[in-house]
Amino acid sequence: MQVHVIVHGKAAGRPEFREAIAAARSKGHTILVHVTWEQGDSARFAQLGVHQGADAVVAGGGDGTINEVALGLVTASAGSTGRPSLGVIPLGTANDFARSAGIPLDPTAALDLVVSRPAAAIDLGRIGDRLFVNVATGGFGTHVTLETREELKKALGGAAYLLTGVTRYSSIRAATARFTGPGFEWEGNFLVLAIGNGRQAGGGHVLCPEATVNDGALDLRILPEVPQAEMGQAMASILREGLDAVERRVVSARLTTLDIQAPDEIFINLDGEPISGHRFHVEAVPKALKLHLPEGCPLL
């Protein structure tokens, strides 16, 4: 195979990553490595892989890198049947998508998965002109992601999000929005919003436990505002156990499209990258990419 590996600059020098590249090359595969330097590099390198006829393009990083590579593949090969498959080497802070998909965290095993197993067609989510592979979040989870410092993530990994959430939950305030989709309508104040193609975000918090990446739909989960006296306990439970900890309060739906209208500006986090606005149109994009996943992947 000809495989283009796009690796986040901070991870390129890790010995285990270099060993993975050497192992794949020793089996006769052509492995071209592109190291990112600035915002947008991952998408540009993915487009280069398309134009150079790669069999697979691999995202070496976290959910943000996967998102950028997926965007590059979709953009460069729009209308083409010869789009390269997508692979993942988990090298990020939390690796939420890889963990929920069962992709090996060992780089050699992850790259071997790409060159040894056929890829499966998966859906993507789209909000406006932006795509997401894993989960789009709003409310409490988005604030935690935005406020977690890089040095804390470097020191603690995924646990950094938990620490930030525990120390900041008292400052979280509910947002207001109206949600409408086919056969669904809900309006009110909410603390947590999750739109899942995948299942978990923010360092292991399971937000959409039933989501699958090849069902042609997205899982919506909304936690309405809770009484102030219960706020601390509810947020602590979510940080430990995900939204299932407050299941009886959660509003759920599985939708192909969703429209969100908010009187005040709200933030939505797409695989770690925030967007903001008052109106959002969300839709599932069925079978948008082919992704190398392990046998028995729980997301299929």
Q: Does 165 share its domain with 190?
A: yes
Residue 228: Cβ within 10 Å count: 8
Whether 177 is covered by a domain: the verdict is yes
Task: For residues 163 and 204, give the distance between their C-alpha atoms in angstroms, rounded to a whole number.
Answer: 13
Residue 80: Cβ within 10 Å count: 8
Q: Does 262 share its domain with 229?
A: yes
Whether 162 is covered by a domain: the verdict is yes
Write out the residue range of the structural domain in which residue 71 sits.
Answer: 2-117
Q: What is the pTM of this model?
A: 0.87
Task: For residues 235 and 173, give the distance between their C-alpha atoms in angstroms, rounded to a whole number.
Answer: 12
* pLDDT number for residue 253: 98
When divided into structural domains, the chain yields a total of 2
Q: Does 175 share its domain with 75?
A: no
Phi-psi region of 20 (alpha: psi -120 to 50; beta: other; left: phi over 0): alpha
The two tokens of residue 48 are 């280069």
Task: For residues 185 and 59, give the distance between their C-alpha atoms in angstroms, rounded to a whole number.
Answer: 37
Whether 125 is covered by a domain: the verdict is no
Task: For residues 196 and 134, give the distance between their C-alpha atoms in angstroms, rounded to a whole number.
Answer: 6
Residue that terminates a domain, selected from 89, 117, 145: 117
* pLDDT number for residue 258: 98
In contact, 158 and 204? CB cutoff 8 Å: yes
* pLDDT number for residue 20: 98
φ, ψ of residue 150 to 5 degrees: the values are -60, -40
CATH of the domain at 15: 3.40.50.10330
* pLDDT number for residue 273: 85
In contact, 146 and 267? CB cutoff 8 Å: yes
Task: For residues 172 and 144, give the distance between their C-alpha atoms in angstroms, rounded to a whole number.
Answer: 9
* pLDDT number for residue 151: 58
Residue 259: Cβ within 10 Å count: 15
3-class secondary-structure state, position 211: coil
φ, ψ of residue 211 to 5 degrees: the values are -65, 145
Length of the chain: 300
Residue 256: Cβ within 10 Å count: 16
Whether 257 is covered by a domain: the verdict is yes
Concerning whether 150 is annotated as a catalytic residue, the answer is: no
Q: Does 177 share its domain with 93?
A: no
* pLDDT number for residue 166: 47
Whether 246 is covered by a domain: the verdict is yes
Q: What is the mean pLDDT of each run of 10 residues along the chain (300 residues)?
A: 94 95 98 95 96 96 95 83 90 93 98 97 96 90 56 51 51 84 96 93 86 98 80 69 78 97 92 91 97 97
Q: Does 276 share its domain with 159?
A: yes
Q: Does 272 share its domain with 137?
A: yes
* pLDDT number for residue 297: 98
Task: For residues 164 and 185, give the distance between their C-alpha atoms in angstroms, rounded to a whole number.
Answer: 32
Whether 296 is covered by a domain: the verdict is no
Unique residue bearing structure tokens 């430990």 = 240
CATH of the domain at 227: 2.60.200.40
Question: Of 19, 147, 225, 273, which is the active-site residue?
Answer: 273
Residue 283, Cα to own-chain centre: how many angstroms?
15
DSSP state of 83: P
* pLDDT number for residue 155: 53
Task: For residues 112 and 272, give the distance between their C-alpha atoms in angstroms, rounded to a whole number.
Answer: 26
Question: Interior CA angle at 222 toward 221 and 227, to 5°?
Answer: 145
Q: Does 154 share its domain with 270?
A: yes
Whether 300 is covered by a domain: the verdict is no
